[in-house]
Homo-oligomer: A and B are copies of this chain.
């Protein structure tokens, strides 16, 4: 058992050199002769000194190799969402390659102040549920990269959600259609409900808003009207919310013959429920999704959706952060025609 943890000072004393030299041996090889360096390193190993204390380094150097990933919602929810977890996957592999550590941060937290002093930067995936965080991130002294939404003057990674939504809606819609939209985080309600005249929440650059805009533009072009009582709000993309919304939509009258869903999870639950009710998809009801998750390829009929690479978004976000990129990046997406329209 060690008596007490060795410090740089102890080691310096024992080896009869200055603390600076020990420090340099570990951090700046060019500052001392190779012979001395090797000698020091081997001595350190021998006496059980495993290198400079990281906590002290964080304070002194002002850098920790920790990157905070600010998730839109609670960690608990985000980690179980296939799209989000694929994103996390991308982020983590890019970070690991550079020896950076990943701190998961919930978007419903009170404030980023409890970590801002020691993290090296923030990757922000989706507009945090707590709007205050956005304001704090906007003035953060540490670098910030946003994904799936924007903050002025901060780099971001996005796809053109408006265009993607427009395209998928355009290929699904025809004049005379009766349309419903299953949207995400549109209004301020903790449960699934119709939007009606509730004010829309969140930043204008959020994916929900952009997608809604795209849907509406396509609808206008095709001359179909979508009233706000045909737009549903889901607080998140979980299966239980999705099932609830699906049920409401399927039992609403008149039953829509086109349903535009803002995520594949939502679309898939709707699809399953519709099929169970004996509704013919796409003859009686067309369904579109969003994201292009793996599961959407395995269903019969295959879901028509918009594919984007969440893993790639993660990688790009990490790289943007680590390389101090300043631009806002637009990633490609791809319409995947399945058999649900």
Contact (Cβ within 8 A) A62 B55: yes
9 contacts between A and B (CB under 8 A): A53-B117, A54-B116, A65-B114, A74-B93, A80-B85, A80-B86, A101-B104, A101-B105, A101-B115
Q: Is A325 engaged at the interface, CB distance under 8 Å to the other chain?
A: no
Residues in B neighbouring A58, C-beta threshold 8 A: 55, 58-59, 118
A173 to chain B, nearest CB (A): 32
Contact (Cβ within 8 A) A117 B55: yes
Please state the number of chain copies in the assembly. 2
A17 to chain B, nearest CB (A): 22
A-side interface size class: 35 or more
Residues in B neighbouring A104, C-beta threshold 8 A: 92, 101-104
Asked whether A74 and B96 contact (CB < 8 A) given A85-B80, A103-B102, the answer is yes
Task: Give the nearest-CB partner of A141 in chain B.
Answer: B5
Most interface-central of A103, A105, A117 (chain B CB within 10 A) = A117
Q: Is A76 engaged at the interface, CB distance under 8 Å to the other chain?
A: yes
Q: Is A50 engaged at the interface, CB distance under 8 Å to the other chain?
A: yes
A244 to chain B, nearest CB (A): 17
Interface of A toward B, CB cutoff 8 Å: 2, 5, 50-51, 53-56, 58-59, 62, 64-66, 74-77, 79-80, 82, 85-86, 88-90, 92-93, 96, 99, 101-106, 109, 113-118, 141
A267 to chain B, nearest CB (A): 17
Contact of A117 among B54, B114, B115 (CB under 8 A): B54
Residues in B neighbouring A96, C-beta threshold 8 A: 74-75, 106, 109
Task: Give the nearest-CB partner of A118 in chain B.
Answer: B55
Cα(A75)–Cα(B318), bound, Å: 15
Contact (Cβ within 8 A) A76 B92: yes
List 6 tightest A-B contacts by C-beta distance, closest first: A54-B117, A75-B92, A76-B89, A55-B118, A79-B85, A59-B59
A310 to chain B, nearest CB (A): 11
Cα(A117)–Cα(B7), bound, Å: 12
Contact (Cβ within 8 A) A114 B76: no
Most interface-central of A65, A105, A106 (chain B CB within 10 A) = A106
A27 to chain B, nearest CB (A): 14
Cα(A88)–Cα(B114), bound, Å: 21
Residues in B neighbouring A89, C-beta threshold 8 A: 75-77, 79-80
Contact (Cβ within 8 A) B113 A50: yes
A56 to chain B, nearest CB (A): 5
Asked whether A54 and B101 contact (CB < 8 A) given A75-B88, A79-B79, the answer is no
Contact (Cβ within 8 A) A54 B102: no
A93 to chain B, nearest CB (A): 5
Residues in B neighbouring A51, C-beta threshold 8 A: 113
Given A5-B141, A55-B117, A75-B102, 15 new contacts (CB under 8 A): A2-B141, A55-B59, A55-B118, A56-B59, A58-B118, A74-B93, A75-B93, A76-B89, A79-B79, A79-B92, A80-B89, A101-B103, A101-B115, A102-B104, A104-B104
Residues in B neighbouring A116, C-beta threshold 8 A: 54
A120 to chain B, nearest CB (A): 11
Task: Give the nearest-CB partner of A86 in chain B.
Answer: B80
